[in-house]
Structure 1
């Protein structure tokens, strides 16, 4: 159990949080943005308000994720639909409902656990150790206060705790596991014929009047979006570090003042045996568990092998197989009772039973790494980098402030600011309102330059954060309103689209007729002769077969089992328009008795997770049904 907690601190929790931080750090500082809004709310959940700025922030995060996942295929128009806005707001509502449910259930994230989780995030560490100064600096660079970040992070941990409590109790009936294993190992004897869509594309005709009618009915699809060309000034911390210098005296002074931070805290390697005991257990169960723990202590102190007893008796699955070893950890990384006992033990000593929320632990410290303060020579390079960065940060904030003042005082030009700050006035190509390359890839820039004050008023934008210590100020150089594209400009594209659709429709119609023929006795070979195709005899294939098209394999396993294992026929269209006729001649279920214990356990785990997810979804729907929720999508932009 403790090993699981330790793994989460250094593993999946950290990864989730780092992912969150990366997204947040890619956007502008939210804290000041949130404070600037009037008290207008996007939704109210059981009396708790979700503000418009909170909604906007969540929306921006989702837009950023979509841009990252979809790349060039990202369509910003999707993010302005009512469906998208509703999905973002619904996510916030669900999060608030979960927080309320967790509080009602008495769940909480202690300050100690919160600190331990934050300390485990690699982005907040220097030389493998959490740095408070580095942590605060990273947050402040994005306009985030530690209070706000920790509040959001605590909510996230709380929701994960609730999720684990609900989904972790899901139990899959044994018969479902057996049936699932049979289906997972199932094999099907498959034959198929693939008919290329090109067979129909050459025959598809699209008349001029059909093209015109399609154009008239879908004019909104054929517009050139509103576009701008921009002038901009760019200021970043990285460019300011060049040419900066520091002295030996400054580094020595920094070393003296930062010794405590540079000191690597004591770490200990421990192993343990857990005698599991649920919280709230009866006196009898507690006494029995304590007796078992005391008996193990006696055996260990009598010289029996710790690792052997841990493998045999420990209820902590994460460490038992490793002889109870928990690895190296510092103070505050384990639950308080375990932590206190570990850091008071002498090396190799066997502890008395230590009670924690998980049961009784017998602990042995196998290694102690004393706290160590490195010599100046060992950390000089790090301190030089920190000193130069601090200089650059001071310079960056001063110049950012000057940039904002100059471009505000002279709103119709960037030249004065460029000259005083030794910056280059840069220009973009045409950028659509949905965003483009370079600074156009930042949603906050496009939002700023399409604001009335900048677009119509001809003024400079305010200073826009586009990344950590990276800002721009932009103005509109040229503007092209959205315009309707003429039919002649899109005629060829429409013809191609309609021809492809006609070919797919023809293939689908013909395919359905072929399937009916197969069901009434025709053979794949007879149809193959008609289309000059070749029947593929795949033989018995499993669900993970990689020799054949994945869609064909997936569709083959969707074909209903025919009575008496008779020949079953079906057809499907592939993503590229090709039509595939399939016949399953025989189905063999997986042999459950041949599956080893490890594979069975892994499969059961995956089913448990699936059942847990379903239970959690049902729980969330119950919360929604009982809650008083008010929302107004009309207010959302």
Structure 2
């Protein structure tokens, strides 16, 4: 409705209406609504109360719209500083006053028209039809119940009727003409008094007792979060890597012990023709005969792929029965045994499985291959180094824990064990200045759990550290 009033601001009727709205603010008292309890109305307008709940809903909706239009840059605190609460309240008062005028004019909206408008709203349609679930989901996202939305829509439609009614009044009543004339020609003389706080500073005396009392009453304002300062040593892959050596005999031994890791197993390019069969003897016999006929055709010169496309009951028929490269363990054991017993280009006898009867052909055999020691030397060296690093880190951590006592100087111990030594400044939980190890949750958890002068056992804050 406010948009209606703004668009019609040049209309004499609307101007007069706004005159009465402005005058009304001097009649209805509006206190500090942010401080009232939930039972006290925010404002009373023309006999109607604007509740705390209604105001909060309107304010939150207003803020959400502002956040969307500003890409989330406007926060709640800034909105309050800009007087947004007052703006929302003024809008609600405007709306209530205009609603009251509509009631006096007995303007209303029928339930049939209301339902029709909701059902025709494109936002609530799915595939051109009203979608009840979509309707409720959209309202839920806007923190509205169907009854609230429908009530608001009814008010909007009623106010639209009021706008139309006012715009059709041919002449302004004399009473309104008089009020409008007085408003436009009114003059006021204003006297102001300016108080500069700086002129009062000399009169203010701040005593130690006053400072102490203020501090006692506002202790939370002067509290700082818990901070700690720690010294620590780091044991990581970099601390031990320089000491790691790997000999050729070690590489060869590792190769022999893990030979299976460097071997590719045999695989076969296989085709088959399937004749499905059940436990029924007659059906089984028909399936077997079908496979025998297929084999006879292939042996007679027809290609396996063509026969498979024509006769096979398996989905692979469209690919000429091609099953791709098969390795051990990928198919039915009976089928696998038959396929891996054939020579290249070999054709099997009928093979019976739970699926029915098969005719199998091996197109190509890719034999098992063992990668040479020379081809995997670098890979093995890296693997051995990583394993030795793990062992070295564990061994040094045990030594560190054994030698770490309250009497031992941590910096000296770090030097003896060739470990990294570090000291931090004071920091708090999740301090943005922290980097690396100090940023790790386990490091901070341990640091804040210690008493002054305490020592933690070695802790693993990340992989290899």
TM-score bracket, normalised by the shorter chain, equals 0.3 to 0.5
Q: Structure 1-normalised TM-score?
A: 0.33
- The higher radius of gyration belongs to 2
Higher relative contact order, structure no. (Cα contacts within 8 Å, ≥ 6 residues apart): 1
- TM-score scaled to structure 2, two decimals? 0.43
